[in-house]
Chain A
C-alpha cells in the first residue's frame, strides 16, 4: 500500500472520517469523564460518616453560667447557658462600638442565628470554639476584669490575644478577622437536648 493511495482514499472519505473521529472522541471523553467523576466521588465521606457527624447533647445538666465543650466532627463545640447578666453585657458591648461585626453580617452563623445572641434561644450559645485567626482554642473567661480591667466576660485566645464577647463576636484590635463560627443545630421539642448537625457552609473556621 503506497502513500498516494492512502491520500486518495483519505480525501474521498474525509468528511466521514472526521465525523467518526469526532463521534468516537466525544463518546470516549463522556465515558472517561463519567467513570472518572464516579471514582473521585467514591472518595467523598459516606452517608454513614455523615450520620456519625451529627451529635446529640443533653443540655439539661448545664446550669446557668456554666459551659460544656464537646467534640463534634473533631472540633470543639462550646455550649454556654448564659445568665441574664451575661446577656446584658452583649447589648452594652454592641452600643459601646467595640465589636468588629456587632450585627453578625458576615455569614459566620446560620441565618436563624444572625442576632445579638447569635443563637436560636438567647440564653444558649452553641458555637465552634475555634479562633478565626489561626485555629487556636480560646479560653472561656466569663468573669468581669479577668482579662483586662474593662473585660465584661467572653473568650480570650491564648495564642495571639484575640478577644471575643460572650456571643463569640470578635472585638476591635484583635488579630482575628471574624466572629467565631456557629454550626447548624436544633433543639428537641422539650428543649432538653440539642442536635448539632452540619457546619454552616459559608462559615469560615480559621
Chain B
C-alpha cells in the first residue's frame, strides 16, 4: 500500500489533495438535511453522464429516425426503459436538488462575502443546466420536443438585429429538423456537458477556498483551537463522507421508487405529448415547458407583449447574480433575520406557484396570478437592499448550535 502510494505521490499529489479537500477540509458540525443536496447533485451529474452514454449508444439524431430510435430504446433495447427513465427522471430530481441547494444558500446567506463567486459560479451552473435540459428535451423528437424547439428558438429571434441569424444558426435551417438534432446532440453531450463539468470543478474549488457556510451563518474559521483547527469544524472525511453516503442510500431508494412506480410522475417529469411523433402540421393543445422552467414561462406570459415579456423573464433570470450585493444586512443566516426568512418563504412559494401556473393553459384569467407572482419574485430582489438595511435581527451565537 504505502510503497505503491509513495511511488504515486512522488508523481501525483494524491495524498496532498486528499488532505486538502477531504481529511483536513473542516466543515461546521451543524449541517442539516439541506447539506445533502451538494453531494447528491454531484452523484446525479455522474448518473446522467452514465445513463446518457448508454442512451447515446442507441440514439439516431435524424428527424426521420430520432423518435423511432427512442421508442426502440423503450421497447427493444434490453433495460432501455430503465436507462431512459433514469435519464429523464434524473433531470427533474436534479432541478429539485438545485432548488433546495439554492434555497439553502438563500436561507443561510451562503452567497454573502466571501462566497460571492461561489454563488455566481453555482448560478451559472443552474442556467447552463436549463440549457442542457432544453437541448436534451428536443432530442427524442416527440411532438412536444418539436414545438418546444420551435418556440424556444423563436425566443432568440426576438433579440434585436442578431436574433434572426442566431435562430437560423441554432436550428441549422429554416425549421427544427435533422440539422437541429445533430447540433443539439453535440451541444447536449459534448460542449454543454463539458462546460458544466468544468464549472462544477470551479464551484468545488471556490467552496474549498472560502470554506462551507452553515445554518447559523457564522464563520467557523474565526474560532480555532490551539491545533489550528476550527473548534466547530469536523473533517469532511470521514464525518461528512459517511453522512453523505447515508444520504445517497436514501436518495437512490427514492430515485428507484420513482423510476419503477411513477416514471412519468403523472405527466410532470415526462409529458404525455412526448409520446407522439414530431409533426410540424399538428400543433399541441398547449405548449408548456417542463415544471422546472415553468416559473420563468409564467412570467413571460404575464406580459402580453413579446419583447417586454421576454425582457421580464430575462430580468428574473439575471437578478439572482446580484444577490451578494443586494443583501446589506451584517447578519447572514435567516435564522436570526425573521423578516428576511419570511421574504424567502414567500418568494419560494411564489416561485412554485408560478411553476404551477406555467403548466396551465395560457388563459387571460391567470394574468393576475402571473403578474402578482412576477412582482413578488422580482420584488424580493429589488426590495432586499432596502429591507435588509433596517430589518430587525437577533444576534447570532459565537459558536454553532448543535
A44 to B78, CA, bound (A): 7
- In the assembled complex, A150 has its CB within 8 A of some CB on chain B: no
Shortest Cβ distance from residue B206 to the other chain A in the assembled complex, whole angstroms? 27
List B contacts of A24 (CB < 8 A).
245, 249
Q: Is the CB of A43 within 8 A of B54?
A: yes
Q: Is the CB of A46 within 8 A of B77?
A: yes
Most chain B CB neighbours (cut-off 10 Å) among A39, A41, A48 = A39
Shortest Cβ distance from residue B123 to the other chain A in the assembled complex, whole angstroms? 32
Given that A24-B245, A42-B83, A43-B57 are contacting pairs, would A48 and B50 also be in contact in the complex, using a CB cutoff of 8 Å?
A: no
Q: Is the CB of B72 within 8 A of A46?
A: yes
A43 to B78, CA, bound (A): 8
List A contacts of B80 (CB < 8 A).
42
List B contacts of A39 (CB < 8 A).
50-51, 54, 79, 83
- In the assembled complex, B234 has its CB within 8 A of some CB on chain A: yes
- In the assembled complex, B391 has its CB within 8 A of some CB on chain A: no
74-97 of chain B: CB within 8 A of chain A: 76-80, 82-83
- In the assembled complex, A12 has its CB within 8 A of some CB on chain B: no
Shortest Cβ distance from residue B268 to the other chain A in the assembled complex, whole angstroms? 25
Q: Is the CB of B54 within 8 A of A46?
A: no
Given that A1-B234, A24-B245 are contacting pairs, would A42 and B77 also be in contact in the complex, using a CB cutoff of 8 Å?
A: yes
List A contacts of B249 (CB < 8 A).
24
Q: Is the CB of B76 within 8 A of A38?
A: no
List B contacts of A85 (CB < 8 A).
none
Of A42, A47, A48, the residue contacting B79 (CB under 8 A) is A42
A46 to B78, CA, bound (A): 6
List A contacts of B82 (CB < 8 A).
38
Per-residue interface assignment for chain B, residues 277 to 290, with 1 indicating a CB less than 8 Å from any chain A CB and 0 otherwise: 00000000000000
A24 to B252, CA, bound (A): 14
A46 to B76, CA, bound (A): 6
List A contacts of B51 (CB < 8 A).
39
Q: Give the B interface residue count (CB, 8 A).
A: 17
Per-residue interface assignment for chain B, residues 43 to 54, with 1 indicating a CB less than 8 Å from any chain A CB and 0 otherwise: 000000011001
A31 to B252, CA, bound (A): 10
A1 to B230, CA, bound (A): 10
Smallest Cβ-Cβ distance to B229: which chain A residue: A1
Given that A1-B234, A24-B245 are contacting pairs, would A41 and B78 also be in contact in the complex, using a CB cutoff of 8 Å?
A: yes
Smallest Cβ-Cβ distance to A51: which chain B residue: B76
Per-residue interface assignment for chain A, residues 27 to 47, with 1 indicating a CB less than 8 Å from any chain B CB and 0 otherwise: 000010000001101111011
List A contacts of B58 (CB < 8 A).
42
232-274 of chain B: CB within 8 A of chain A: 234, 245, 249, 252
Shortest Cβ distance from residue B224 to the other chain A in the assembled complex, whole angstroms? 13
List B contacts of A47 (CB < 8 A).
76
Shortest Cβ distance from residue B334 to the other chain A in the assembled complex, whole angstroms? 28
A31 to B248, CA, bound (A): 12
A46 to B77, CA, bound (A): 5
Q: Is the CB of A48 within 8 A of B76?
A: yes
Smallest Cβ-Cβ distance to A3: which chain B residue: B227
201-251 of chain B: CB within 8 A of chain A: 234, 245, 249
A48 to B40, CA, bound (A): 37
12 examples of A-B residue contacts, CB within 8 angstroms? A31-B252, A39-B83, A42-B77, A42-B78, A42-B83, A46-B72, A46-B77, A46-B78, A47-B76, A48-B72, A48-B76, A49-B76
Q: Which 8 pairs, one residue from A and one from B, show the smallest C-beta to C-beta distance? A: A46-B76, A42-B79, A48-B76, A38-B79, A41-B78, A42-B78, A39-B54, A42-B54
Q: Which residues of B contact A (CB under 8 A)?
A: 50-51, 54, 57-58, 72, 76-80, 82-83, 234, 245, 249, 252
Beyond contacts A46-B76, A46-B78, A49-B76: 13 other A-B pairs, Cβ-Cβ < 8 A, are: A24-B245, A24-B249, A31-B252, A39-B50, A39-B79, A42-B54, A42-B57, A43-B54, A43-B57, A44-B78, A46-B72, A46-B77, A48-B76
